[in-house]
Amino acid sequence: MLRQDIRLKEIDGVEITTVVDNVIDLLMAGTEVARRLEIRPDSFEKPLPVAEHGFAALIATWRDGRIGQVLLDTGSSETGILHNLDAMSLDPSGLEAIVISHGHADHTLGLTRLLSRLASRQVRVVAHPDAFLDRRLVTPKVTVTMPKLSRDLLRGGSVELIETADSTLLVDGTLLVSGEIARTSGFEVGFPPNQSWRDGKWQPDPLVHDDQCVAVNVRGKGLVIVSGCGHAGIVNSVRHVQAITGVEKVHAVIGGFHLQNPRLIAPTVAAFKSIGPRYVVPTHCTGWAAIHEFARVMPESFVANSVGTTLVF
């Protein structure tokens, strides 16, 4: 793999809070790095967070006393992310950027309402150009046309759209948006049901080129990588970040790994064993079988996830 000249500055620490995910468990036990939702005497007297098929993670970094806040994705409904932010008493007004991992609706549908709430402040939105394609999912049983992410929504006003396939550095050079991910593993084949409207017709688009992840480099620990869905291949994603930053040590990999295809599970877990992250936190679209295989093969590294979990590194 060729290395790009990207200097990802080290940070002192990071907190990653799951705002939207497929699972919520109010009684899930915490771990040395996973802080769970706190049960209080009035917990059932006000709205509780909810689960939905989607993903959003609030990432707070700190370095030399400077705190930065970035959101990866916005969930699969117009109201879910705002409901959960309010239910967890999380204030998004300090957001410096919103990163769109890819254009699928379960990662973008909360964006409109969220931007309306943030209208009084300038916020960057980072997305790959392909995130704005018309998309549909085609299986032998059903065809599903997806709501489209609109460029018009992100132009003018208080939104600064950064539309690029290249990597991007945010928060004073401490948070990396990977950009388009190199496909190097040899076994990760993308998402075959995905089709895009190009040149006046629907065309197969299994590689989902807009899929990207974010990463930080925690001082003394290494890379912490967060994936939305991992359509590019979660192993490809990790190796891509290693290659473009020159940082080999991986401390944690978090997010959707998209391993519903059972043939992908064994080679992916084997690759993770080789890479050797201290923590593995599969979420969202990873799939029940793959999550349990990570827990079985890497029990010292595996951390179960839930809406409201804050990972502290």
The CATH number linked to 90 is 3.60.15.10
What are 65's two structure tokens?
């006393």
Residue 82, in any domain of the structure: yes
Long-range Cβ contact pairs of 194-198 (< 8 A, separation 24 or more): 194/135, 194/137, 194/231, 195/135, 195/136, 195/137, 195/138, 196/130, 196/133, 196/134, 196/135, 197/133, 197/134, 197/135, 198/133
* Cα dihedral 163, 164, 165, 166 in deg (nearest 10): -150
CB 54 within 8 A of CB 102: no
Residue 4, in any domain of the structure: no
Listing DSSP states for 164-232 in one string gives -SS-EEETTTTEEE--SPP--SSS----TTEEEEETTEEEE-TT-TT--EEEEEETTTEEEEEESS-TT
Q: Which residues contact 111 (CB under 8 A, 6 or more apart)?
A: 74, 98, 100, 125, 149, 153
Distance CA 229, CA 210 (A): 11
Predicted confidence pLDDT, tens digits, the chain (313 residues)? 444 678 999 999 999 999 999 999 999 999 999 999 988 888 888 899 999 999 999 999 999 999 999 999 999 999 999 999 999 999 999 999 999 999 999 999 999 999 999 987 889 999 999 999 999 999 999 999 999 999 988 876 789 999 999 999 999 999 999 999 999 999 999 999 999 999 999 999 999 999 999 999 999 999 999 999 999 999 999 999 999 999 999 999 999 999 999 999 999 999 999 999 999 999 999 999 999 999 999 999 999 999 999 999 9
Amino acid 107: pLDDT: 98
Number of domains in the chain: 1
Residue 2, in any domain of the structure: no
Which region, left, alpha or beta, applies to residue 80 given φ > 0 means left and ψ of -120 to 50 means alpha? Answer: alpha
Q: Provide the domain limits for residue 121.
A: 10-312
Residue 3, in any domain of the structure: no
Most distant pair of Cα atoms in the chain: their distance: 58
Residue 1, in any domain of the structure: no
pTM reported for the whole predicted model = 0.96
Q: Which residues pair with 98 in a beta bridge?
A: 71, 125
Residue 118, in any domain of the structure: yes
Tell me the one-letter amino acid at 16: I
Distance CA 137, CA 148 (A): 13
Residue 154, in any domain of the structure: yes
Amino acid 156: pLDDT: 67
Task: Determine the distance from the C-alpha atom of residue 122 to the mean position of all C-alpha atoms in its chain, rounded to a whole number.
Answer: 22
Tell me the one-letter amino acid at 52: E
Q: Which residues contact 94 (CB under 8 A, 6 or more apart)?
A: 67, 69
Residue 43, in any domain of the structure: yes
Helix (H) or strand (E) holding 63: strand 56-63
Amino acid 152: pLDDT: 87
Q: Which residues pair with 227 in a beta bridge?
A: 213, 255
